[in-house]
Amino acid sequence: MRLFRATAALSAVLALAACGVPVAGNAVPAGIQTVVTTAPSTPTVTVSPPPTQTVTAVAPPKSYVPAGSQWYAQSSWIYAQPWITITPGVNQTPCQWLRATGYTYPQAFAAWAQNGYPASWSATGDGYPCQKSYGMQH
């Protein structure tokens, strides 16, 4: 038990001395060696800036009003239109039939929407049907 108290006291003295706290007499008991350790220095890291880049401005492509913003593309108007039963002739597309039968482009658009927006009705795939029959409508 005595050895335990002596070890505890010595540990306390060494801990206080290591922290720079003056200990009475700063005496270290005989036969005890002190070890001083220092923390390694923190390395300095230098990061060079990224190389400069030249950016060439390119004019954005011409934008068209999407079909959804046209008055005839509004679902309330489309579904207020009577259903058009399309019966194209031989070698005739639904769009050609609609045009030949006298339907307007908004009516053809409504028929396209009512038939589930078939991709085959838009030759360019841009969201506007029957462009070959009615021309560009945007």
Q: Work out how many domains the chain is built from and give that number.
A: 2
Task: Tell me the pLDDT tens digit for each residue of 31-83.
Answer: 666 566 565 666 666 666 666 666 565 555 544 445 667 778 888 888 888 98
- Higher model confidence: residue 51 or residue 138? 51
Inside any domain, residue 100: yes
Neighbours of 3 (CB within 10 A): 7
- Higher model confidence: residue 103 or residue 68? 103
Inside any domain, residue 12: yes
| Same domain for 128 and 82 | yes
Compute the distance between CA of residue 134 and CA of residue 49 in angstroms, rounded to an integer.
57
Inside any domain, residue 46: no
Tracing tokens 């046209």 back to the chain, one arrives at 70
Inside any domain, residue 86: yes
CA dist list (Å): 120 to 16, 64, 109, 123, 126 = 87, 21, 13, 7, 11
Instruction: Give residue 9's domain range.
Output: 1-36
Is the pLDDT at 5 greater than 60? The verdict is: no
Inside any domain, residue 128: yes
- Look at residue 133 and give its three-state secondary structure: helix
Neighbours of 129 (CB within 10 A): 28
Predicted pLDDT of residue 104 = 92
CB 123 within 8 A of CB 132: yes
| Same domain for 115 and 71 | yes
Which amino acid type is present at position 33?
Q
Inside any domain, residue 57: no
What is the pTM (predicted TM-score) of this model?
A: 0.50
| Same domain for 117 and 77 | yes
Tracing tokens 């390694």 back to the chain, one arrives at 40
Residues in the chain: 138
> Nearest CA to 84 among 129, 132, 127, 138?
129
